Amino acid sequence: MVWDPVLRYVAKWEPGRCVMEQKAYILVVEDEQKIRTALRDFLEFHGFGVAEAVDGLEAERAVAKGKFDLILLDLMLPKVSGEQLCRKWRQDGLQSPVIMLTAKGQEKEKVAGLDLGADDYITKPFSLEELLARINAVLRRTDPARAVGQNFKFADLNVDIAALKVKRKNKEIEITRREAQIIQYFAANPNRVISREELYKEVWDETMTDLGTRTMDMHIAKLRSKIERNVAEPQIIKTVRGAGYKYENE
Ligand code: CA
């Protein structure tokens, strides 16, 4: 398996063929060599591209040079702490999601970390499977396009994001760019209640306002009128009373 940081894909050789897979590029910032190496091996095994930084300064340099889809950031680091880094990156407008690695008993720092703009945190010692689940959840949330791709099934529809079309059997339905983003977000986050605040923040990239609420409701209504069989009883994008919306995918 070889990761190409320029083309951002992983080449894997299966019997008789070479498979290209687009995977996320992750920066592991961790001063403890054992943990760092274990993380690299594990993430590479799961097909991610991995870069390492051993302290805060190296992490700063790596982020200034490369574009990462996710950063695993140890809180206790020599030179520049994880906290300082996260704060600085967010002030600089860095978009890459950050998962903080914290030690037991650092609950206070953990909360501060989320305030500083971390997307999630995990407490050491953690199981690698748990970490993988967190990473995938954060990637789905922050980059639904990567999670589902350009062509995917959404309930009984076939979605073509590039063409802005969904197809039910032979019936083609045109969708707007915004509707495509909404569909992508639900498809990437199935079987989970998505609050209206979350949907608005992730799709519109803005904090919820009254006007935002109305804008979103209008878009959902319009989208439902295009894709639901019965708009009065939506079965694809369901309403969860008082909580938000949910797309169920068995
Ligand atoms: Ca540390």
| Residues 159-173: tens digit of each pLDDT | 999 999 999 999 999
Q: How far is the CA of 25 from the centre of ligand 1 (A)?
A: 21
CA angle 11, 68, 79 (to 5 degrees): 125
First to last CA, the chain: 32
Q: How far is the CA of 31 from the centre of ligand 1 (A)?
A: 5
Q: How far is the CA of 165 from the centre of ligand 1 (A)?
A: 48
- The residue extents of the domains of the chain are 2-142, 148-247
Q: How far is the CA of 139 from the centre of ligand 1 (A)?
A: 24
> In CATH terms, is domain 148-247 a member of 1.10.10.10?
yes
Q: How far is the CA of 6 from the centre of ligand 1 (A)?
A: 29
pLDDT band at 182 (very low <50, low <70, confident <90, very high): very high
Residue at token pair 């970390």: 113
Q: How far is the CA of 136 from the centre of ligand 1 (A)?
A: 23
- Topology (CATH) of 2-142: Rossmann fold (3.40.50)
Strands, E assignment, the chain? 2-4, 9-14, 17-21, 25-29, 49-53, 70-74, 98-103, 120-124, 151-154, 157-160, 165-168, 171-174, 237-240, 244-247
pLDDT band at 9 (very low <50, low <70, confident <90, very high): low
Q: How far is the CA of 58 from the centre of ligand 1 (A)?
A: 14
Please indicate whether the domains covering 2-142 and 148-247 agree at the CATH topology level.
no
Q: How far is the CA of 33 from the centre of ligand 1 (A)?
A: 10
Average pLDDT over residues 117-135: 90
Per-residue confidence (pLDDT) for residue 124, from 0 to 100: 87
- Note whether 128 and 42 are within 8 A (CB): yes
Residues, Cβ < 5 Å to ion ligand 1: 31, 74, 76
3-state SS class at 43: helix
Tens digits of per-residue pLDDT, 61-98? 999 998 899 999 999 899 899 989 999 999 998 989 99
Q: How far is the CA of 131 from the centre of ligand 1 (A)?
A: 17
Tens digits of per-residue pLDDT, 28-61? 999 999 999 999 999 998 888 899 999 999 999 9
The token pair at 245 is 């919306």
Q: How far is the CA of 29 from the centre of ligand 1 (A)?
A: 9
Distance CA 45, CA 92 (A): 32
Which one, of 56, 110, 63, 62, lies nearest residue 82 by Cα? 56
Distance CA 101, CA 111 (A): 12
Q: What is the pTM of this model?
A: 0.72
Per-residue confidence (pLDDT) for residue 115, from 0 to 100: 75
Per-residue confidence (pLDDT) for residue 177, from 0 to 100: 94
- Asked which of 30-44, 56-70, 194-208, 220-234 is least confident by mean pLDDT, the reply is 194-208
Is pLDDT above 70 for 136? Answer: yes
Q: How far is the CA of 191 from the centre of ligand 1 (A)?
A: 36
